Structure 1
Amino acid sequence: MDKIYLQMFSFGEFDPSLTREQICAAGDMGYDGVELFASNFEMPVDEMKALLEEKNLEAISLHTQTGKVEKMIPYAQALGMKYMGIAMEYIPDHESALAFAKTLNTLGKKCSEAGIMLTYHNHTQEFNVFDGEKVIETLIANTDPEFVGFELDAGWCSAAGEDTVAFINKHAGRIKLIHVKETDRVIGPEAPRNPADMKFDENGRPMISEEERRADEEKMKMDCPTGQGINDWNAIKAAADAQGCAAYIVEREYTYKGTRLDCLKEDIAYLRQNVK
């Protein structure tokens, strides 16, 4: 794999004061670019632009919330981003999926006017079936391809029980970005989570009970070393390349050995050496 990007969430530390250190680490590990995340936006855009140029990194995209898309357009423009992603949305039923598709179209048109393609990033919950249709397919069917694309998280897609290659082929032209995330198991579609119900500490970490933390950590263990799970990365890349995927972005949820940096170094090394 030639160009490989890194989702900044992957560092697992969300203190804004760490942004410079993390950007530098991404460049030093050999990543070609980054997808920015919430804690990174505390850095003034001019400072971020200079830092990215210093480390020879491309800002391909960012993740934000639905209600912040319009606010983030100038930031994305200033960094020359081609994409902007909504990280997650609460979609508890078919009517909510249809309503959110309309929102995506509206926001996507505004992004398009700024030269940016809006994307939506899946978890497993988008593979729930409501009224006979998967949520993600309701979104795909009811959004305008000119204004809205999708960032397929291959790890969550496979964990939901989907054939990721078949899904990409079925929706050719709509998958603009791929999140390279490994999984060693199928857990099925999870119940929809409402981000509005989540509380965060001053460093952006979710405030959850010890029981919830243990359950989440056990689930995150499925994010095993890239290449040691159930995803066939060469097949995924071939399918995604054939339908026009623009970028492959590593996103890591779990530290399976040593430090998170150790894992991210192994992720990029595997992709460089084994995925064509």
Structure 2
Amino acid sequence: MTEEPPMPSRRTFLGTALAAGAAVALPTAASASDQGHRRVPRESISIQLYTLRGIMGDDPEPVLSALADIGYRKVELAGTYGRGAAEFAAVLRRCGLRASSSHVGIDGDLDRVIADAHTLGHKYVVVPWVNYATIAEWRAFTARLEAAGDKLRQAGLSLGYHNHAHEFATVEGVRPIDVITTGTTRRNVHLELDLYWAVTGGVDPVDVWRAHFPRVRQFHVKDRAADGSFADLGTGTIDFAEIFRRTNVAEYIVENDQPRDALETARIGYEYLANLRF
């Protein structure tokens, strides 16, 4: 089983990033053939299976096998399609895949979440979505997030939070993302930064990465068309090469919320990340 690539020290990587210059503007498109000295390690490429939910049907194995044929070795789960954790883990093994990460909630049975994560071989467990109308509710959620993160850490797992755009808008004069990052510790809660939603929310992903280094451990790599809709990687407006040049994470997770052809989206995404130089 391939180990995750080591993360650089805060001093080393922040020094490199800050030396690169001022923060990038909202990115523009770049070709996957852009030349550079770095690339995304193939073992760090994953895909969020939410992208393929429309074609999974009652038997996900053919789709998972097709992902392995494309080149994926890791996936991020968004459910197990009516199967128990052990049964779904067996399907993944038959397909030559491992689920290093999963989207789950924290307000249910955490012992079950932990047990299933161990059975499925997760390293990361990520809260995919919350939204509250008041800052008091955001603060209450953040307290629960920190407590859950502490429990999962003691069980050998890393709890993350996945953003959308609304966390970067103010509620009662305060941004929810700031409530989350100040109300939790980097020891217990990491960030899974969705690049599409960060850009949609009007922030520079590099700024978010720098501000919270080394808490951003996963990227959702999702492209944005000029009209704001979802796009396959490399066909939209986000300059991933520029973002990746100034950052570093353990996992680069392909995603498209509304793919026209899910397997083609998966193929394009894998090939884009595998061939990108920055």
TM-score by length of 2: 0.78
- Does residue 269 (structure 1) correspond to residue 271 (structure 2)? The answer is yes
Equivalent in 189, 198, 204 of residue 148 of structure 1: 189
Amino acid at match of 2:145: L
Preserved CA contact (<8 Å) 1:178 1:249: yes
| Corresponding residue of 1:229 | 236
Which residue number in structure 1 is paired with residue 252 of structure 2? Answer: 248
Equivalent pair of 2:58/2:81 in contact (CA under 8 Å): no
Matches within 5 A, 1:6-17: 6-13=47-54, 17=58
Q: Verify the 8 A CA contact 1:34 1:61 in the aligned structure 2.
A: yes
Distance 1:104 1:166 in 2: 23
1:155-192 CA-partner distances (Å, limit 9, x unpaired): 111111111112211221111211011112486xxxxx
Contact 1:123/1:157 (CA < 8 Å) preserved in 2?
A: yes
1:61 and 1:83 in contact (8 A); partners too: yes
Identity %: 27
Q: What is residue 178 of structure 1 aligned with on the other side? A: 219
Counting only pairs closer than 5 Å after superposition, residues 98-137 of structure 1 correspond to structure 2 as: 98-137=139-178
Amino acid at match of 1:65: G
Letter of the structure 2 residue corresponding to residue 269 of structure 1 = E
Does residue 27 (structure 1) correspond to residue 88 (structure 2)? The answer is: no
Residues 19 and 43 in structure 1, CA contact (< 8 A), matched pair in contact too: no
Distance 2:106 2:227 in 1: 28
In 2, distance between residues paired with 1:89 and 1:247? 22
Q: Counterpart of 1:66?
A: 106
Please identify, of 176-185 and 9-18, the stretch whose mean Cα deviation from structure 2 is larger.
9-18
Give the secondary structure class of the aligned counterpart of 2:236.
coil
CA distance in structure 1 between the aligned counterparts of 2:255 and 2:277, rounded to whole angstroms:
16
**Is the Cα contact below 8 Å between 1:128 and 1:134 reproduced in 2?**
yes
Would you say the 8 A contact 1:35–1:61 is kept in 2?
yes
2:245 corresponds to: 238
- Partner Cα separation in structure 1 for residue 272 and residue 242 of structure 2: 15
Shift of 1:30: 1.1
Q: Deviations over 1:109-160 (max 9, x none)?
A: 1111210011111111111112433211210111011111111101111111
RMSD across aligned positions (CA)? 2.0
1:167 matched to 2:208: yes
Q: CA deviation at 1:14?
A: 7.3
Change (3 A) 1:16 1:109: farther
- Specify every segment of 5 or more residues in structure 1 that has no aligned partner in the other structure, as ranges: 188-221
Q: Name 2:180's counterpart in structure 1.
A: 139
Choose 167-176 or 148-157, whichever is displaced more: 167-176
